[in-house]
Structure 1
């Protein structure tokens, strides 16, 4: 056990050292972009070097360009175009292109995205003996998403969203298991509505305010989706400024509730921003609930750090909430404000969960996507 702990600490130390070197060397490349007032397009780009026990080492790159659709529009946030790609040592790869648009004094918002890749991952299968075991699976996926929102009353936005998605999944099960169980191919097309009450003072990196968003997506056979089910997402973020903009506390609640004929691909997994520290894919179910808080401290010029902690739960239905164990997660991160005029931070987080941990590179803050 001691040897395993030492090996884990050595891995974390090496990756954090590499990340620190990159953060200290990369930002100066973009300082000229920020100081040059003639630049109408500002670019943030960062290499990605992560590690988790499930997928191994991860390398990639993430870049995003920020600009105004109308230079005279001082109310709309900056629009952006982004591209990212990753590859891991277990042969997982994914690439995606995304576009965020804001125009007409922030009365209209839109987002489009498309991507493809292969995810080699695992899930936890409960067994009558030895509690359970991880089962490997591989999913080839493609998707295209479109969303448009319109301000309808004060800061309340109404929108529609739709996704075309196809997933082909193979499970690493014994040969005697029927192919109908070992292999699965289905469309995950959806359409739905969303409401967003947005009183944040900034889209990418708020210092104050709050927003509440509600999304209801339907997956139906008449949309050429493989299953008939419904998914609801509710998110509440609140930003508290302490003394000044260099000290911010953020609280967040998120729930994702799927009901009906929910397939494996329609379930949610505890991890990423809700909650960091879980990368093994052990905790997945039809419903996810997560509550957390984060402290953001810009301690020196453009440099900052964050500390965060929270609790999550993965259950089949809300009635199971009080009979299942809670999943804690906590960690710290380093930030560098690459583009001050856009409040664009780059950095990384390291977090630990229940028998799990992870490293996370990012452009922009958590809870802002």
Structure 2
């Protein structure tokens, strides 16, 4: 049986370039981007850019955000993605749309194979009470795998990865009392989402998913922040490998490469201390633990507890709305580690 080697996920800030912030004519609109150098054992080494555009659909609405990411590496692997979070109707309606395309030429300890994933997602929510939102969402994803040698085929057989097209519908509920969408200092956020991937609407797979998130933010020492987070993702027995819950996905335990350890049931808790140096700079320390059960984790004897801890730096690219460039390094058990950069907080 083929056993993939340990993988280290690394993403480095391009130190030869400073983040660029360009304010538009109207004060509430701003564009920011940061060039990056990325290095990942599965994707190789390359260049990329991440960006954030802040705007208002109306002066009475909260600030909306359009984010983008593009990356290309020396293994001819590439990633392109975008996400638009929009607020309108005096903040009583929210819409989030995302699209992505990912192509990786993998080489895991001699196992060479190509993996490709692309998809679109849209969520629409309406305020139903003070702080409470409810809505519907839909998703379409396509996943393709192609072995480039015999060992690569062994890896695909081991994980159960196979080509599929999945289409899902679901409902969501949210409670949001945060004082800021991008860098909250107090308040809480609760989100519950369901997905049903249905062969009745053309999906190759038929399974159900429940996703739960809760975050609590507390200001201490005037401007420092303590953040506590819970993340749970649970799929039914019929879920394929591509639909399982992965360590490392959605920042569920930084330090683990998404896809290496997966299962049907994932529960994770994290804590983070954000130390205020100035309005633009913060230092962060964090730790977390997760439990994963069922599915591929059971088949590959990887059920159990996983933990990680690390430190990070935040730089305010767009200080007015508190959008920060996030740089984290994390270390987990079994020699896992990771280095991350992004324009969102981990939770």
1:364 equivalenced with 2:344 (yes/no): yes
1:52 and 1:359 in contact (8 A); partners too: no
1:184 Cα deviation (Å)? 2.9
Deviations 1:144-190 (A, max 9, x none): 11110001111111011101121112246738979x96983211111
Equivalent position to 1:262, from 216, 232, 239: 239
Equivalent position to 1:226, from 187, 194, 204: 204
Deviations 1:237-293 (A, max 9, x none): 00011032x300101110110103111111121115111111274311122211110
Q: Residues 60 and 348 from structure 1, CA distance in 2 versus in 1: closer, same or farther, beyond 3 angstroms?
A: same
1:295 equivalenced with 2:273 (yes/no): yes
Q: The residue matched to 2:242 in structure 1 has which SS?
A: helix
2:208 and 2:236 in contact (8 A); partners too: yes
1:350 Cα deviation (Å)? 1.1
TM-score (norm 1): 0.81
1:5 matched residue in structure 2: none
Give runs of aligned pairs for residues 5-16 of structure 1, distance below 5 A.
none
The size of the alignment, in residue pairs, is: 331
Give runs of aligned pairs for residues 40-189 of structure 1, distance below 5 A.
40-71=28-59, 73=60, 76-121=61-106, 137-171=113-147, 174=150, 184-189=162-167
Q: Residues 240 and 120 from structure 1, CA distance in 2 versus in 1: closer, same or farther, beyond 3 angstroms?
A: farther
TM-score (norm 2): 0.86
For structure 2, the residue ranges without an aligned partner over 5 or more in a row are 1-7
More helix by percentage = 1
Q: The residue matched to 1:275 in structure 2 has which SS?
A: coil
For structure 1, the residue ranges without an aligned partner over 5 or more in a row are 1-7, 124-132
1:50 and 1:360 in contact (8 A); partners too: no
2:262 matched residue in structure 1: 284
2:229 and 2:269 in contact (8 A); partners too: yes
1:101 Cα deviation (Å)? 0.8
Q: Distance in 2 between matches of 1:280 and 1:195?
A: 26
Q: The residue matched to 2:341 in structure 1 has which SS?
A: strand
1:348 Cα deviation (Å)? 1.1
1:171 and 1:183 in contact (8 A); partners too: no
Q: The residue matched to 1:265 in structure 2 has which SS?
A: helix
Q: Distance in 2 between matches of 1:175 and 1:248?
A: 47
1:337 equivalenced with 2:316 (yes/no): yes
Q: Distance in 2 between matches of 1:183 and 1:155?
A: 41
1:309 Cα deviation (Å)? 0.6
1:232 Cα deviation (Å)? 0.5
Q: Residues 278 and 175 from structure 1, CA distance in 2 versus in 1: closer, same or farther, beyond 3 angstroms?
A: closer
Q: Distance in 2 between matches of 1:176 and 1:195?
A: 41
Q: Distance in 2 between matches of 1:261 and 1:271?
A: 22
1:203 equivalenced with 2:188 (yes/no): no
1:248 matched residue in structure 2: 225
Q: The residue matched to 1:188 in structure 2 has which SS?
A: strand
Q: The residue matched to 1:364 in structure 2 has which SS?
A: coil
Q: Residues 351 and 84 from structure 1, CA distance in 2 versus in 1: closer, same or farther, beyond 3 angstroms?
A: same
Q: The residue matched to 2:277 in structure 1 has which SS?
A: strand
Q: The residue matched to 2:163 in structure 1 has which SS?
A: strand
Deviations 1:102-159 (A, max 9, x none): 0122100001122223134589xxxxxxxxx996543222211111000111111101
2:292 and 2:304 in contact (8 A); partners too: no
Q: Distance in 1 between matches of 2:288 and 2:112?
A: 28
1:222 Cα deviation (Å)? 0.9
Q: Distance in 1 between matches of 2:332 and 2:308?
A: 4
Q: Distance in 2 between matches of 1:304 and 1:295?
A: 10
